[in-house]
Every structure is written in C-alpha cells, then in structure tokens.
C-alpha cells in the first residue's frame, strides 16, 4: 500500500478503481445512516498556503464522518519553507498527528513533506497537480455513466494543474481525454509525455486542440476551470483578453453528445469560463462534483490513515 497520495500517476488503474469503489461504498453507507468510526483517535493536520472552501470542508468532514478529527493550520501559523523548513514541519507534525494534508503553491513542498514525514501525506493541491480533485471528478463521471473506460472527456481552458490530473486519471482509467486551450497555455510537456505512455497501456486516446468546437465533438464530459488561478493575478488582464473563445456556453455544450455533462472544479467565475445558463442548467454536474470531494477524500483518508 502507498504511504502517500501525491499524484495520480503514482497509482495503478486497479488501485484507483479500488479507491473509487471505496468512495462509492462510503458514500452509500453515509447516506444510509453513517460511516463506521474507523479513524477514531486519528487526526489529520491540514496545511494551507492557499485559501479553500471545498478542500478544507471536505477533508474536515471526511475525518469527522469516519470518527477522526482535523486540525486547520493557516499560512500565517506555519510559514511553510519560510518561517520554518519543510523538513522540520514534517518531523514536528509526525509526533502530533497521524496524517498531513497540504494545499500549497510549490509541488516540491508536498514532495519534501512526504520525504521527511513518517506519516501519510496527501497533496490537497499544488501548482503541478490536483489529484484529490481528479479522484472526485472520476467518481462523478463514474456515477453518471457507470464506467470510465471509453468515456470522452474534453477539457476547455488553461492547461493547469487540474487539467493535468484530469488527463492523468483519464489515461489511467482508459477514458479518452481532449483539451482545447490557447497557444502559450498548454499543459507541461513532461506531464503530457507521461500521460501518453500511460495511455498506450490503457487504450486511452489523448487529443490536443486549439479550437474548442473541434474538441467537444462527441464529448460525454465538458470540463472547464477558471482562466486565472491563485498566484497568477498579475496575468489576469491578459488572460481575460485571450480566453473568451473558450467560454463554455449553451452553444458549445450543444456541440457535444446530447446527454453530455458539464463539470467545473470551482470556484467559478460565472460568465467568464462558463455561463450562468450552463452552470445552472440540466447538463451541469458542478455541485454533485463538489459534493463528491467529500466522498473521494473519505476514501483517501480511510486507505492511508486506517492503519497509521
């Protein structure tokens, strides 16, 4: 079993399927009366360099549902890598708690925490990837279609950390992944090469477009994200000039499959990357997707912390 949950590529297709099956099971148990308190006495430290609604609440409630507890640590309290070295933070926390979740800017900070801490470390988001989001995304698609194999997933927008992890889990699970993004906003070449290698083994098809209308043809899932992520505020004006052709509106949704679904990791800048009519329309799954963060996170902490 893995000690940590840092990146989708670290896990095999079978291991990811086990996490998805566990998330389905735990969600059903919760809806039918509650989960067993298997993490009683366990505490998850939650390190935040970036603010969050879904990550903080979903991990906190995941621990509570399973009988454990969560401890929020704000940016000012730790100063990860500035006030105190990452190595020292990791070795201090391992004496207090049974697991660490970190939502950071630099991916290297997550890697260092995992290297130095003897307890499990979970990547709650880094500039390089967002594996917890990808697992919740896969759960949402799985619930809608009953499978991931052969599902056509199209991401429209910036080739950011969310897009990278969505591409990786698509490739792992045999879903077909397409992305349409403007020039100069591609996903990192190294991540694409790794995903292509994975796809060769799973039968997944990866496609890369500039034109969103081409990309969404035959789409079962149309996914978008904010044009400007945290830490990119100085680029906002330029991004708002470049990205309007990539707005997910009713016309674009109509060009996918008739029963396609629309997803967004939130927070959404409404009427920028997607319109109100799409966000609140019949194709939207953005709120069930957000709620599935809880159940996907629950599967992660259950797997990593139960024996910690």
Three-state secondary-structure class, residue 155: strand
Q: Could you tell me if 195 and 167 are in contact, meaning their C-beta atoms sit under 8 angstroms apart?
A: yes
Note the pLDDT of residue 215: 98
Please compute Rg for the chain using Cα positions.
19
Residues 170-209: tens digit of each pLDDT: 999 999 999 999 999 999 999 999 999 999 999 999 999 9
CA–CA separation, 99 vs 114, rounded Å? 10
- Percentage of the chain lying above the pLDDT 70 cut: 99
Lowest mean pLDDT among 3-7, 73-77, 120-124: 73-77
Share the mean pLDDT of the chain.
96
Provide the CATH topology of domain 131-289.
Answer: Rossmann fold (3.40.50)
Per-residue pLDDT band at 54 (split at 50, 70, 90): very high
Where does residue 209 rank: exposed (0-12), middle (13-18), buried (19+ CB within 10 A)? middle
In the predicted structure, residue 249 carries a pLDDT above the cut 90? yes
How much is the average pLDDT of 269-279? 97
How much is the average pLDDT of 258-268? 97
How much is the average pLDDT of 160-175? 98
Residues 140-156: tens digit of each pLDDT: 999 999 999 999 999 99
Note the pLDDT of residue 4: 98
Identical fold between 8-129+296-305 and 131-289: yes
Neighbours of 281 (CB within 10 A): 13
CA–CA separation, 136 vs 287, rounded Å? 12
CA–CA separation, 105 vs 108, rounded Å? 9
Note the pLDDT of residue 79: 78
CA–CA separation, 137 vs 306, rounded Å? 24
CATH for 8-129+296-305? 3.40.50.1370
Note the pLDDT of residue 234: 83
Going across the sheet that includes 69-73, the strands are 69-73, 43-48, 99-103, 121-125
Spell out the domain ranges in the chain. Answer: 8-129+296-305, 131-289
Q: Could you tell me if 8 and 16 are in contact, meaning their C-beta atoms sit under 8 angstroms apart?
A: yes
Note the pLDDT of residue 210: 98
CA–CA separation, 175 vs 196, rounded Å? 12
Per-residue pLDDT band at 3 (split at 50, 70, 90): very high
Residues 95-143: tens digit of each pLDDT: 999 999 999 999 999 999 999 999 999 999 999 999 999 999 999 999 9
- Could you give the residue numbers annotated as active site? 103, 130, 133, 225, 265, 293
Q: Could you tell me if 183 and 210 are in contact, meaning their C-beta atoms sit under 8 angstroms apart?
A: yes
Note the pLDDT of residue 117: 98
Residues 232-242: tens digit of each pLDDT: 788 888 999 99
Going across the sheet that includes 152-156, the strands are 206-209, 176-180, 152-156, 221-224, 261-264
Q: Match 């879903």 to its residue by tokens.
A: 175
Note the pLDDT of residue 80: 80
Note the pLDDT of residue 144: 98
Note the pLDDT of residue 78: 84
Where does residue 93 rank: exposed (0-12), middle (13-18), buried (19+ CB within 10 A)? buried
Per-residue pLDDT band at 70 (split at 50, 70, 90): very high
Note the pLDDT of residue 307: 77
Note the pLDDT of residue 175: 98
What is the number of residues in the chain? 308
Q: Could you tell me if 221 and 177 are in contact, meaning their C-beta atoms sit under 8 angstroms apart?
A: no
For residue 69, the surrounding DSSP H or E stretch is strand 69-73
How much is the average pLDDT of 32-42? 97
Q: Please, what sign has the CA dihedral across residues 142, 191, 85, 120?
A: positive
Note the pLDDT of residue 77: 84
């Amino acid at each position: 079993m893995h000690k940590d949950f840092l990146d989708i590529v670290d896990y095999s297709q079978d291991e990811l399927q086990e996490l998805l099956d566990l998330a389905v099971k735990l969600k059903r148990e919760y809806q039918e009366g509650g989960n067993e308190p298997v993490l009683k006495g366990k505490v998850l430290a939650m390190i935040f360099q970036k603010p969050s609604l879904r990550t903080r609440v979903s991990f906190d409630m995941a621990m509570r549902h399973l009988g454990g507890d969560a401890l929020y640590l704000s940016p000012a309290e730790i100063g990860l890598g500035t006030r105190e070295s990452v190595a020292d933070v990791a070795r201090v926390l391992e004496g207090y708690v049974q697991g660490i979740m970190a939502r950071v800017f630099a991916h290297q900070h997550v890697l260092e925490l995992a290297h130095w801490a003897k307890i499990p470390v979970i990547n709650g988001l880094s500039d390089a990837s967002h594996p917890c989001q990808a697992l919740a995304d896969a759960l949402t698609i799985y619930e809608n279609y009953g499978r991931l194999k052969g599902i056509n997933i199209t991401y429209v927008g910036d080739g950011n950390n969310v897009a990278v992890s969505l591409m990786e889990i698509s490739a792992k699970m045999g879903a077909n992944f397409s992305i349409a993004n403007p020039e100069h906003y591609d996903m990192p070449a190294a991540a694409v090469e790794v995903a292509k290698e994975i796809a060769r083994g799973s039968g997944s098809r990866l496609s890369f477009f500039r034109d969103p209308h081409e990309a969404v043809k035959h789409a079962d899932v149309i996914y978008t994200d904010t044009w400007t992520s945290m830490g990119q505020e100085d680029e906002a004006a330029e991004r708002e000039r470049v990205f309007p052709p990539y707005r997910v509106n009713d016309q674009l949704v109509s060009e996918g499959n008739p029963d396609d679904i629309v997803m967004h990791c939130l927070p959404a800048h409404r009427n920028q990357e997607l319109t109100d009519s799409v966000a609140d329309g019949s194709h939207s799954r953005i709120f069930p997707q957000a709620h599935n963060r809880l159940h996907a996170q629950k599967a992660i902490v259950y797997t990593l912390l139960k024996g910690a």
